[in-house]
């Protein structure tokens, strides 16, 4: 009514937070201990009150290294005790309580529940799962929390709760809510992420199937994707949250959720070439499967851990985990798993430059897949046979196998499998010096790799298409294609980037 204008203040930037400490402590002390200053800024979530309390404590102890203050904060494990003061006007816990006490009952309960979310960022859909209510019913509570500055809506339907606020919310929920309620909240949100991650994994890799049935429909906010692009966009946004969810599941005794989430993350992390993260979650999955005495789950985790090691060029570790996977598949009598393990062993042998050793694994995979009627397994084995024969300069046999694989993939509408097979066909035609046919096959593969958003597959084919143009005497085109491939490999941090960079340097 008085014509006032709302002025929304964001958190200070890192530089502004550093300047606050400089004003309180002096430039010399701050400049001399940059790592400790960075840690203090991070552990206070850049909240000005928390920074001011930390600065006051450091100023009162001029001979103390700032790292000692940071260590005190670290020892509190994100809690508020290290920021307590005798003055209610400056005690962080007291100041936050002033905002909390003004909330409605629904918003207060949601604030406490959000403190149990695995990561600071939470979508409206995940918040609904925490609350066990439909999204439209919790939206007013989310808006109320945002108005109270207990949440920040960084983008539409996506909120962030700063670490100190989460610590305060967790203190409240432990004091006010029964332990069974806390477990129920954690289970609901893990169910949510597991269900949505599985939906995304199926779209990204149509052949992917979970070992276990989906969780019961306790999730109040199921999510659906229009296509694999939407699924990958969701995963790109939620990747850090999903990895945190795996850790959170382990920390709170939800081993089954941790293992099942790790399974669902494999096709998603693989498609985006996030191999270090894949290795991390599958190491967890191996340990979970052993604790649960589940040979099938252990076999799958060993296989997917081997995949990460192959991509990181750690071949000895990959062999170890594939042997363990095969032993567990044999123990469980899992024929589709045995097909997959043989295919991975064939691929590993080929990458190590031993196409002859790859052939027996590809043949065993084909025999097993044919016996159990696994059409996609057959297609993958046929393509593996074709590729291995092409590597052994048996190009006509390679083309025959690959054409059979392509027919099966196209029948199943598996575009990623078809992309791999068109690439194999291009390699075989290149070996026959039928370079226009090879280039045509490679371009078909590139189109499909773009459609399914497989960066590493696209990079491999760009390199081979460049080789074909080099054989045709088109030097400029080949260098341009190799540069495109290098840009992709650099972006995903692939070890082969260094090899390709050396090749390009030789052609400059």
pLDDT digits (tens, 9 = 90+) for 339-397: 999 999 999 999 999 999 999 999 999 999 999 999 999 999 999 999 999 999 999 99
91 and 137 share one domain: no
Judged by DSSP in three states, 467 sits in helix
Give CA–CA dist 19/41, Å, rounded.
11
| Residue 254 near residue 232, CB atoms below 8 Å | no
Angle between the 435-452 and 415-431 helix axes, to the nearest 10 degrees? 160
- Residue 199 lies in domain: 104-204
- The mean-pLDDT minimum among 22-36, 38-52, 279-293, 443-457 falls in 38-52
Model confidence at 219, pLDDT cuts 50, 70, 90, reads low
> Does residue 431 sit within a domain?
no
Q: Quick: pLDDT tens for 2-33.
A: 888 877 777 789 999 999 999 989 998 999 99
132 in helix, strand or coil?
Answer: coil
Q: Which of 189, 204, 219 is the last residue of a domain?
A: 204
> Is residue 83, in this structure, part of any structural domain at all?
yes
Q: Residue 495: its pLDDT value, please?
A: 82
Rg (CA), the chain: 27
Q: Is residue 454, in this structure, part of any structural domain at all?
A: no
- 117 & 181 share domain: yes
Query: Confidence band (pLDDT; 50, 70, 90) for 56?
Result: confident
Alpha-carbon distance of 303 to 310, in angstroms, equals 10
Same domain, 87 and 111: no
Residue that terminates a domain, selected from 204, 239, 263: 204
Q: Which of 48, 63, 95 is the last residue of a domain?
A: 95
Query: Residue 144: which pLDDT band, with cuts at 50, 70 and 90?
Result: very high
177 within domain boundaries: yes
pLDDT of 89 higher than 60: no
Measure the CA–CA gap between 201 and 205, rounded to whole angstroms.
Answer: 6
Give the pLDDT confidence score for residue 11 in this predicted structure: 78
CB distance 361 to 349 below 8 Å: yes
Compute the distance between CA of residue 370 and CA of residue 28 in angstroms, rounded to an integer: 73
pLDDT tens digits for range 241-283: 999 999 999 999 999 999 999 999 999 999 988 999 999 999 9
Listed residue (336, 314, 319, 328) closest to 208, CA to CA: 336
How does residue 92 score in pLDDT terms, banded at 50, 70 and 90? low
In this structure, is residue 355 part of a structural domain? Answer: no
* Residue (of 155, 42, 167, 153) closest to 114 by Cα position: 167
Half-sphere exposure of 17 (CA within 13 A, CB side): 23
- Provide the pLDDT confidence category of residue 79 given band limits of 50, 70 and 90: low
Are 78 and 156 in a shared domain? no
Burial environment of residue 136 by CB neighbours within 10 A (0 to 12, 13 to 18, 19 or more) = exposed
**Does residue 467 belong to any structural domain of this protein?**
no
Whats the size of the chain, residue-wise? 508
Give me the DSSP letters along 164-212. Answer: HHHHHHHHHHHHHS-HHHHHHHHHHHHHHHHHHHHHHHHHH-TT---SS
Residue 109 and residue 376: Cα distance in Å, rounded?
Answer: 48
Please check whether residues 138 and 48 belong to one and the same domain: no
Q: Which two tokens stand for residue 74?
A: 């670290």
Residue 504 maps to a domain? no
- Banded pLDDT at 471 (limits 50, 70, 90): very high
Domain count across the chain: 2
As a whole number, mean pLDDT of residues 278-303 equals: 96
Interacting residues of 325 by C-beta distance below 8 A, sequence separation 6+: 299, 300, 302, 303, 306, 337, 341, 344
Confidence of residue 80 (pLDDT cuts 50, 70, 90): low
Residues 91 and 34 in one domain: yes
In this structure, the answer to whether residues 188 and 113 fall within a common structural domain is yes
User: What's residue 208's pLDDT?
Assistant: 87
d(CA 189, CA 196): 11
């Amino acid at each position: 009514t008085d014509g006032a204008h709302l002025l929304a203040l964001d958190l200070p930037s890192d530089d502004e937070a550093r300047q606050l400490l400089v004003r309180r402590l002096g430039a010399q002390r701050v400049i001399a201990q940059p790592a400790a200053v960075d840690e203090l800024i991070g552990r206070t979530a850049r909240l000005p009150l928390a920074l001011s309390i930390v600065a006051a404590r450091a100023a009162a102890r001029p001979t103390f290294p700032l790292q000692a203050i940071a260590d005190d904060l670290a020892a509190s494990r994100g809690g508020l005790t290290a920021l307590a003061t005798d003055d209610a006007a400056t005690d962080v816990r007291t100041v936050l309580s002033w905002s909390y006490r003004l909330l409605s009952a629904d918003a207060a309960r949601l604030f406490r529940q959000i403190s149990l979310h695995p990561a600071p960022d939470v979508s409206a859909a995940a918040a609904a799962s925490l609350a066990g209510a439909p999204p439209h019913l919790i939206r007013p509570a989310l808006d109320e929390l945002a108005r109270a500055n207990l949440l920040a809506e960084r983008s539409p339907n996506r909120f962030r709760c700063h670490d100190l606020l989460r610590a305060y919310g967790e203190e409240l929920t432990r004091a006010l809510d029964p332990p069974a309620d806390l477990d129920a909240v954690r289970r609901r949100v893990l169910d949510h992420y597991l269900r949505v991650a599985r939906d995304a994994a199926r779209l990204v890799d149509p052949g992917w199937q979970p070992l276990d049935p989906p969780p019961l429909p306790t999730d109040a906010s199921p999510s659906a994707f229009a296509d694999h692009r939407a699924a990958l966009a969701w995963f790109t946004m939620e990747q850090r949250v999903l990895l945190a969810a795996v850790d959170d599941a382990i920390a709170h005794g939800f081993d089954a959720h941790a293992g099942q989430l790790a399974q669902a993350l494999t096709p998603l992390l693989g498609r985006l070439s996030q191999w270090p993260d894949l290795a991390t979650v599958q190491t967890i999955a191996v340990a979970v499967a052993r604790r649960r005495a589940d040979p099938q789950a252990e076999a799958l985790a060993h296989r997917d851990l081997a995949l990460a090691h192959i991509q990181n060029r750690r071949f000895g570790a990959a062999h170890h985990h594939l042997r363990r996977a095969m032993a567990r598949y044999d123990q469980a009598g899992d024929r589709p798993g045995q097909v997959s393990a043989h295919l991975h062993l064939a691929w590993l042998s080929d990458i190590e430059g031993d196409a002859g050793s790859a052939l027996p694994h590809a043949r065993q995979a084909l025999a097993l897949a044919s016996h159990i009627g696994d059409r996609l397994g057959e297609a993958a084995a046929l393509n593996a046979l074709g590729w291995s024969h092409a590597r052994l300069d048996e190009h006509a046999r390679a083309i025959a196998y690959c054409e059979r694989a392509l027919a099966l993939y196209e029948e199943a509408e598996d575009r990623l499998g078809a992309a791999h097979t068109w690439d194999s066909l291009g390699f075989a035609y290149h070996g026959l010096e039928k370079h226009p046919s090879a280039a045509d096959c490679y371009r078909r593969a590139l189109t499909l790799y773009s459609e399914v958003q497989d960066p590493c597959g696209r990079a491999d084919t760009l390199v081979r298409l460049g080789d074909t143009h080099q054989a045709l005497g088109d030097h400029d085109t080949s260098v341009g294609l190799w540069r495109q491939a290098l840009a992709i490999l650099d972006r995903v941090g692939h070890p082969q980037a260094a090899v390709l960079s050396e090749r390009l340097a030789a052609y400059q």
